[in-house]
């Protein structure tokens, strides 16, 4: 009988190491350790063990004392770990020192996230963006690839002297590759901008933003009937996906964007800027929070920090105060309320006043969310009564707002609609005070 062999490749075993200074609190340390484990599992690694090392001062060689580093190396050997994964950024020299000490690869937080993105890139745009991030990460780490930097290439008497070193050649090739990728992504950005301009002529746009795995893709599917991939994993979505949101008035389009994370590598922010522009260009931001996650406050602040860097929100909004008039509106959505008990939900509604509780899984709260989106984009519902011979005013409402109901009577035209405040001011004398706020100028009554 033929002998059977195991052909399936075993997952890499990783020893997770978190380095914490005395400034880090216990809650933050535990939260970051949990997030690191989630990232490692998303990449498909097996967690051999997880260690947290507390330090009093920075150590340039390993990020921790030599004795503690040797202890971690011995532990990695005992566990037969294939790699070390650090919840922080390693300098090129620290990465080289760890690999020499342990004989296995050392992966920091930046490289870990980039590898996850690389594994999830499906479209040409996502592949370009990930490749660019990889090159940004690789460029300052070229030196530890070469032991002998005096190797020469391309030199000839009377031309380039002794020639270029291998390091110089590779650095130049990477810089040229970065330049080509930037040019190609700029073309993608221009095409996206052209598509956006065509789409914005007759529609308003919303962007779903939030921490990774907050349920943005599931919410998009629930609102629009789309079939966007929605997994209980970090960074399930990399590409901005746009779908039409059913509405009574003008067309509303809603976009799903890549999720954010604490200490998101700047290389990734720069690489994915063309995709993240959907947030800066949107008429309305919908900030999706996982209401069931105990770290909801940190995730809220992280998202605002990235949005502020992109220019989509201001520091005023990040401080929790009302948005300045030149900034776009933002709705806060508490998703996954099906996992909460009523007292917890009541607390969050007080913690985030004006937020909208929903469940993408059960559909709870989705109707209210659509109404709030419509109101945020078009203003509150108001009723107008126009003279029967002023069909031009009715046409103005149709052009500039969302018409909810319309009735043509013998003595007046009655329209209930959502309009921007500037258009409402032009039609103020025709407002019907029975529906609208008391104390406003009386509407024309048909007499």
Burial label for 31, CB within 10 Å (0-12, 13-18, 19+), is middle
Statement to judge: residues 366 and 402 lie in one domain: no
The conformational region for residue 17 under phi > 0 = left, psi -120 to 50 = alpha, else beta, is: beta
DSSP-assigned letter for residue 232: S
Give a yes or no: residue 177 inside a domain. no
The pLDDT value recorded for residue 69 is: 94
Tally Cβ neighbours within 10 Å of residue 25.
10
Mean pLDDT score, 392-419: 85
The domain boundary, picked from 360, 378, 396, lies at 378
Indicate if the pLDDT at residue 157 is higher than 50: no
Give which of 309, 209, 222, 224 is closest to 257, Cα–Cα.
209
| Confidence band of 312 (pLDDT split at 50, 70, 90) | low
Statement to judge: residues 287 and 365 lie in one domain: yes
Indicate if the pLDDT at residue 428 is higher than 70: yes
Statement to judge: residues 222 and 335 lie in one domain: yes
Statement to judge: residues 218 and 347 lie in one domain: yes
Sheet with strand 13-21: strands edge to edge = 46-55, 13-21, 83-86, 105-107
Statement to judge: residues 68 and 86 lie in one domain: yes
| Confidence band of 350 (pLDDT split at 50, 70, 90) | very high
* Maximum mean pLDDT: which of 32-41, 160-169, 249-258: 32-41
The domain boundary, picked from 340, 363, 378, lies at 378
Give which of 297, 291, 361, 286 is closest to 328, Cα–Cα.
286
Are 198 and 242 in contact, with CB atoms under 8 Å apart? no
Give a yes or no: residue 258 inside a domain. yes
Q: Which tokens hold the place of 306?
A: 């990235």
Indicate if the pLDDT at residue 371 is higher than 50: yes
Q: List, as residue ranges, the binding site.
A: 210-217, 235-239, 256-259, 335-338, 359-361
The pLDDT value recorded for residue 438 is: 39
Q: Which tokens hold the place of 155?
A: 């030199």
Statement to judge: residues 270 and 307 lie in one domain: yes
| Confidence band of 331 (pLDDT split at 50, 70, 90) | very high
From CA 162, how far away is CA 156, in angstroms rounded?
A: 7
DSSP-assigned letter for residue 260: B
Statement to judge: residues 344 and 426 lie in one domain: no
Mean pLDDT score, 183-205: 72
From CA 441, how far away is CA 426, in angstroms rounded?
A: 12
| Confidence band of 151 (pLDDT split at 50, 70, 90) | very low
Give a yes or no: residue 186 inside a domain. no
From CA 13, how far away is CA 11, in angstroms rounded?
A: 6
Q: List, as residue ranges, the binding site for GTP.
A: 210-217, 235-239, 256-259, 335-338, 359-361
From CA 409, how far away is CA 388, in angstroms rounded?
A: 8
Among 64-78, 169-183, 189-203, which is the least confidently predicted range?
189-203
Indicate if the pLDDT at residue 67 is higher than 80: yes
Statement to judge: residues 298 and 347 lie in one domain: yes
Indicate if the pLDDT at residue 254 is higher than 70: yes
The pLDDT value recorded for residue 296 is: 92
Angle, helix 124-138 to helix 109-120, in steps of 10 degrees: 160
Residues 6+ away with beta carbon under 8 Å from 178: 132, 135, 136, 139
- Total domains in the chain come to 3
* Maximum mean pLDDT: which of 204-218, 224-238, 253-267: 204-218
Give a yes or no: residue 310 inside a domain. yes
Sheet with strand 251-256: strands edge to edge = 241-245, 251-256, 203-210, 284-290, 330-335, 356-357
Give which of 441, 440, 393, 439 is closest to 417, Cα–Cα.
393
Indicate if the pLDDT at residue 425 is higher than 60: yes
From CA 83, how far away is CA 35, in angstroms rounded?
A: 18
Give a yes or no: residue 25 inside a domain. yes
Indicate if the pLDDT at residue 159 is higher than 50: no
Indicate if the pLDDT at residue 250 is higher than 70: no
Give a yes or no: residue 374 inside a domain. yes
Give a yes or no: residue 351 inside a domain. yes
The pLDDT value recorded for residue 38 is: 87
Q: List, as residue ranges, the binding site for Mg(2+).
A: 217, 237
Statement to judge: residues 62 and 49 lie in one domain: yes
Statement to judge: residues 366 and 324 lie in one domain: yes
Residue 211: which CATH number? 3.40.50.300
> Which is higher by pLDDT, 357 or 153?
357
The domain boundary, picked from 76, 107, 138, lies at 107
Residue 74: which CATH number? 3.40.50.11060
- Structural domain span for residue 346: 203-378
Helix (H) or strand (E) run with residue 210 in it: strand 203-210
Residues 6+ away with beta carbon under 8 Å from 33: 16, 18, 50, 52, 87
Statement to judge: residues 296 and 420 lie in one domain: no
The pLDDT value recorded for residue 327 is: 57
DSSP-assigned letter for residue 337: G
Give a yes or no: residue 372 inside a domain. yes
Are 29 and 88 in contact, with CB atoms under 8 Å apart? no
Are 83 and 14 in contact, with CB atoms under 8 Å apart? yes
Average pLDDT, the chain: 78
Are 50 and 20 in contact, with CB atoms under 8 Å apart? no
The pLDDT value recorded for residue 349 is: 93
| Confidence band of 290 (pLDDT split at 50, 70, 90) | very high
Indicate if the pLDDT at residue 231 is higher than 70: no
CA angle 117, 120, 121 (to 5 degrees): 85
Statement to judge: residues 243 and 288 lie in one domain: yes
């Amino acid at each position: 009988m033929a002998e059977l062999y195991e052909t399936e490749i075993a997952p890499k075993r990783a020893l997770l190491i978190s380095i914490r200074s005395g400034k880090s609190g216990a809650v933050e340390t535990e939260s970051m350790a949990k997030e690191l484990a989630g990232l490692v599992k998303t990449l498909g690694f097996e967690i051999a063990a997880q260690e947290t090392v507390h330090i009093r001062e920075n150590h340039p060689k390993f990020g921790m004392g030599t004795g503690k580093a040797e202890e971690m190396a011995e532990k990695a050997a005992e566990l037969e770990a294939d790699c070390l994964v650090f919840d922080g950024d390693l300098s090129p020299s620290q990465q080289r020192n760890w690999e020499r000490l342990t004989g296995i690869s050392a992966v920091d937080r930046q490289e870990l996230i980039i590898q996850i993105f690389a594994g999830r890139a499906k479209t040409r745009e996502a592949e370009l963006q990930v490749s660019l991030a990889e090159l940004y990460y690789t460029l300052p780490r070229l030196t530890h690839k070469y032991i002998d930097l005096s190797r020469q290439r391309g030199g000839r008497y009377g031309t380039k002297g002794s020639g270029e070193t291998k390091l110089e050649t590779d650095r130049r090739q990477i810089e040229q590759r970065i330049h080509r990728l930037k040019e190609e992504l700029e073309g993608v950005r221009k095409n996206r901008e052209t598509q956006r301009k065509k789409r914005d002529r007759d529609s308003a746009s919303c962007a779903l933003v939030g921490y990774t795995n907050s349920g943005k893709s599931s919410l998009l599917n629930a609102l629009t009937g789309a079939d966007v991939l929605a997994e209980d994993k970090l960074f399930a979505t990399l590409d901005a996906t746009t779908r039409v949101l059913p509405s009574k008035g003008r067309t509303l389009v809603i976009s799903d964007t890549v999720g954010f994370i604490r200490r998101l590598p700047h290389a990734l922010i720069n690489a994915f800027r063309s995709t993240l522009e959907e947030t800066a260009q949107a008429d309305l931001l919908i900030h999706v929070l996982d209401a069931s996650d105990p770290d909801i406050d940190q995730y809220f602040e992280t998202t605002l920090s990235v949005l502020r860097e992109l220019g989509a929100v201001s520091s005023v909004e990040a401080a929790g105060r009302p948005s300045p008039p030149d900034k776009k509106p933002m709705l806060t959505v508490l998703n996954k309320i099906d996992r909460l008990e009523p007292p917890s939900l009541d607390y969050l509604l007080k913690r985030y006043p004006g937020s909208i509780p929903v469940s993408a899984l059960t559909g709870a709260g989705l109707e209210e969310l659509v109404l709030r989106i419509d109101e945020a984009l078009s203003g509150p519902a108001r009723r107008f009564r126009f003279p029967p011979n002023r069909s031009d005013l009715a046409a103005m409402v149709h052009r500039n707002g969302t018409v909810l109901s319309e009735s043509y009577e013998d003595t007046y035209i009655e329209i209930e609609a959502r309009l921007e405040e500037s258009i409402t001011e032009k039609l103020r004398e025709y407002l019907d005070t029975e529906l609208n706020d008391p104390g406003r100028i009386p509407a024309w009554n048909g007499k």
